[in-house]
Structure 1
Amino acid sequence: MSQQESSFASKRLTFRAIRHPEDLAVFNAINADEKGYQNSNYSNIKLPTQANAEKFMKETADESLLGAIIWLKPEFQETADSPQKPAAPVQNSEEEILHPTWGTAIGEIHLSALPPAHAHHRWTDIGIDILPAYQGRGYGGEAIEWALRYAFVQAGLHRVRIRAFAWNEGAVRLYKRLGFKDEGREREAVWFMGRWWDAVTLGILEDEWRARERERSGYNNLVDVLVIDG
């Protein structure tokens, strides 16, 4: 990342702090994704309500180490019918006129905050939701990679944990591809669609992340990896 680039952006995405109540529409859309809701909530037999969306938004905004809306930059805006063709940004609100680089909101990402008495352990949980129309295009992986850089370079953390239910095989494959390693399973901890499933825990340590960054970028030492961020 060059010094001119924002620390709160990746190649195709921009990340802005959650603002309630104006971002409620994003959380309502997340809750309306039935499959996504079942893939990320233990309360997966419950129909999510407006109150659930409001609670999720407020907690993510106010109680997380990091809580951000994921925005697709205008130059990468796409439509479901033609995913490879960028669409011109539509500036039909004050927010978009003032901040055209934000583009289109496509989900949220957050890092949990440890209680003050636990903060010295320097780890966090990561959570992410991508709206259905934008899934399968690599945005989730790009957002997680950005969040890992934020965690290890900007926030000075040592470990990042992520969880998934065993039926969500695509998520588990993605997390492993991003460098997360198996840390354990809660055997048959979740009842879903007529059978028991494991709850899977994966994690990545800062040294593992830095080694992966060196390998990906071709840099040979730790200082080089840190300087990449400007």
Structure 2
Amino acid sequence: MTNLWASPRLIYCALERGEHDSLLAELDSDPEGFMNVSSELPSPQGKKDVADWYEHLEKQMLACAVCLPPPPVTNGAGSAPKPIPIGCISLKGLAPRMLQHRMSDLTIRILRQYRGQGYGPEAMEWALNWGFDFAGLHRIQLMVYAYNADAARLYEKMGFVREGAKRECVFVKGRFWDVLQYSMLEHEWRARQKK
């Protein structure tokens, strides 16, 4: 079996308090990235926000740091280099009385300097594989704000089906925007894997 915690260019690590504080703080300090995943009123994020985020992530079915592999060691001196965290990905945990639905919400965040290099789609494909093949999910869904048109196009290209919109649901940048709902079903994902 290949490494379950890796994809072609990335590795996936547990999100550890202390070790990944700077990753979460940097993700939250990027206003554009923050507003692409949160409907909260944007404000500078601090240590308490990072602690709250850890609490949220600890309740998820899957929550990983998305990392580049460590650089190769060129000499035998010093400790082994660590993976380079570039983002995080999660699948929402199910409430005990909701398990029968076998569905989860997918969330991904990639640091600004690593966007546009294909890391997001690669990590999402890895999470879809984990969700359908290991967690036994039937449906994986996500939402995107209508002002994030690049993400909507990406999700459609990956095979997510747009199911609808919550009309004028969030107020951002001086106006109301729709929240678009997407999903992928297990049989749709399996059909894509055969291509």
TM-score of Structure 1 vs Structure 2, range by shorter chain: over 0.9
- Distance verdict in 2 for CA 1:32–1:45, change over 3 Å: closer
2:17 is equivalent to residue 37 of structure 1: no
* Equivalent of 1:7 in 4, 7, 19: 4
Q: 3-state DSSP class of the match of 1:186?
A: strand
- 1:18 Cα offset (Å): 1.0
- 1:175 Cα offset (Å): 0.8
Runs of at least 5 residues in structure 1 that lack an aligned partner in the other structure: 76-87, 216-230
2:162 is equivalent to residue 196 of structure 1: no
2:185 is equivalent to residue 205 of structure 1: yes
2:49 is equivalent to residue 68 of structure 1: no
Taking the aligned partners of 2:18 and 2:94, their CA distance within structure 1 comes to: 25
Taking the aligned partners of 1:21 and 1:119, their CA distance within structure 2 comes to: 32
Is the 2:29–2:44 Cα contact (8 Å) retained in structure 1? no
- 1:46 Cα offset (Å): 2.8
Is the 2:10–2:69 Cα contact (8 Å) retained in structure 1? yes
For 2:146, the equivalent position in structure 1 comes to 166
For 2:22, the equivalent position in structure 1 comes to 25
Q: Which moved more, 1:6-15 or 1:48-57?
A: 48-57
2:133 is equivalent to residue 156 of structure 1: no
- 1:57 Cα offset (Å): 2.1
- 1:191 Cα offset (Å): 0.8
**Deviation by residue 1:135-174 (Cα, 9 ceiling, x = unmatched):** 1100000000000000000111000001110000011111
Is the 2:160–2:182 Cα contact (8 Å) retained in structure 1? yes
- 1:15 Cα offset (Å): 0.3
Q: 3-state DSSP class of the match of 2:193?
A: helix
Deviating 4+ runs (over 6 angstroms): none
Is the 1:37–1:44 Cα contact (8 Å) retained in structure 2? no
For 1:175, the equivalent position in structure 2 comes to 155
Taking the aligned partners of 2:121 and 2:19, their CA distance within structure 1 comes to: 26
> Per residue, is there more helix in 1 or in 2?
1
Taking the aligned partners of 2:162 and 2:74, their CA distance within structure 1 comes to: 43
Runs of at least 5 residues in structure 2 that lack an aligned partner in the other structure: none
Return the TM-score normalized by structure 2: 0.93
Q: Which amino acid aligns with 2:26?
A: A
Q: Which moved more, 1:15-24 or 1:180-189?
A: 15-24
Aligned length: 193
Q: 3-state DSSP class of the match of 2:116?
A: coil
- 1:89 Cα offset (Å): 6.3
RMSD of aligned residue pairs (Cα, Å): 1.8
- Distance verdict in 2 for CA 1:52–1:89, change over 3 Å: farther
- 1:196 Cα offset (Å): 1.1
* Equivalent of 1:143 in 99, 123, 127: 123
* Equivalent of 1:108 in 88, 95, 104: 88
**Deviation by residue 1:165-193 (Cα, 9 ceiling, x = unmatched):** 00000111111111100111000001111
